[in-house]
Amino acid sequence: MKISKYFSWVNSKLNVWSFWHLLGGVFLAKVFMWIGYDKAVVVAIVASLAILWEVIEYMIEQWHPYGSIKAWTEDTLMDLFLAIMVSIWIVL
């Protein structure tokens, strides 16, 4: 049974880099919690770093590897969503 049968966006929106954003969110949230930051601060730091990463990625690659600005936007939003939501999940 394929998961894409139920979630059509899985194949088109999630990719290997989305997985790394997910892992990065988990790792950073755990590290900053271990250091002793407040939960809200941890989420804010992870969100800020994820946004900064996407800005740097855009400055280097722009949208051309994605084929269109729409595809780049969807990929960027999915990556930010994953990193931020996993950090929220970790601190709860």
pLDDT at 3 over 50: no
- Please tell me the total count of domains within the chain: 1
12 found inside a domain? no
* Residue of 83, 76, 82 lying closest to 55 (CA atoms): 76
Domain encompassing residue 79: 36-92
For residue 20, tell me if it sits in a domain: no
pLDDT of residue 17: 73
pLDDT at 85 over 50: yes
* Residue 28, pLDDT score: 87
- Asked whether residue 11 is domain-assigned, the answer is no
Q: Is the pTM of this model over 0.85?
A: no
For residue 29, tell me if it sits in a domain: no
7-48 confidence digits (pLDDT tens)? 455 555 566 677 777 888 888 889 999 999 999 999 999 999
Amino acid 44: pLDDT = 93
